[in-house]
Amino acid sequence: MEGAGKFQGIMPPAITVFDSEGRIDAGKTKRFLQHLIDSGVHGLFVAGSTGEYSLMTMEQRREIIDVGVEAAKGKVPLFAGTGHNSTRIATELSRYAEVAGADGVVVSLPHYPRPTQEALYQHYRVISEAVDIPLYVYSWPGQYVVDIEPETVARLAADGYIQGIKDSTQDLDHTAKIVKLTGGQIVVLEGFETKIFAALCLGADGAICTMGNILPAELVAIYDLFREGKIVEAREKQLSVFGLAEVLSTREDMQLLKEGLKMLDLDVGDALMPTSEVSPELKGRLRAELVKLGKLR
């Protein structure tokens, strides 16, 4: 797919609300998505890691795309996670998202069996040739033990096969190299909430960060202040979220995040198994950080 418009801003990878039987609660999920929209986010991303896509059935993956499209329609861009280890299945999901009305797809790197860089290039080429909406790469080497080299990203961009990337690497040099090699051809989005300010300074276009679920207005403020040239204020806003980010980083499942959202009186249910209860000590640390940020008394 070629010629996509350039997306910029903060696009939370939204949580999915499940009932006690692990079924998607469409009504509660839509209400949560509306909460994010009301908080000023620039777009939404459903069926990402934070949305627990890897624990969903294929039917649920299609369902959450429909839920997201309906919630976001006419309000903000809606991107759908359609990644899968199988190129065939990722392509099918991407086609489904396009027909459903998604504004773009975010496709996580296939990771098992571990692909070569050429295999990654061909994976995204095949998907891109099957859809006519923007295709974003989603790279998170810390989780999937696979990375896509900046040179491969640049090759895909030059050939018109991708329109963006969510770069969830701890190494800002990696993100900077993608920005440099692609030269503005694609959207570059930061994947970690503690690096939004730095990534913007390096030329990134925005961020897709888990914390956007619990502090949407604050992350939007980092972006907006930076774009307004209020650099000191943007930096201070960035530094203010480090404490909460440190607490949330202690768990990679979504139960801790959902506990925090429940502290804010948001009806989001629990994470899908496999997960475990959050300890009272960790809940206390989470609450303390929300108090510091003025979200709780």
DSSP 89-156: HHHHHHHHHHHHT-SEEEEEPP-SSPPPHHHHHHHHHHHHHH-SS-EEEEE-HHHHS----HHHHHHH
Task: Map residue 232 onto helix, strand or coil.
Answer: helix
- Give me the active site residues, please: 138, 166
Q: Which CATH architecture has domain 9-229?
A: Alpha-Beta Barrel (3.20)
pLDDT at residue 5 is higher than 90: no
pLDDT of residue 10: 98
40 contacts 221 by C-beta, under 8 angstroms: no
Cα→Cα distances 297→51, 239, 286, Å? 28, 21, 13
Q: What is the pLDDT of residues 59-95, one digit of tens each?
A: 999 999 999 999 999 999 999 999 999 999 999 999 9
Smallest Cα–Cα separation from 14: which of 38, 50, 43, 57? 50
The confidence band for 145, taking pLDDT boundaries of 50, 70 and 90, is: confident
The confidence band for 55, taking pLDDT boundaries of 50, 70 and 90, is: very high
pLDDT of residue 3: 37
| Terminal Cα-to-Cα distance of the chain (whole angstroms) | 49
pLDDT at residue 4 is higher than 50: no
* Buried-state track 217-229, b at ≥16 Cβ within 10 A, e below 16: ebbbbbbbbbeee
Average pLDDT, the chain: 96
The confidence band for 1, taking pLDDT boundaries of 50, 70 and 90, is: very low
- Spatial separation of the C-alpha atoms in residues 139 and 147, rounded to whole Å: 6
pTM of the model: 0.95
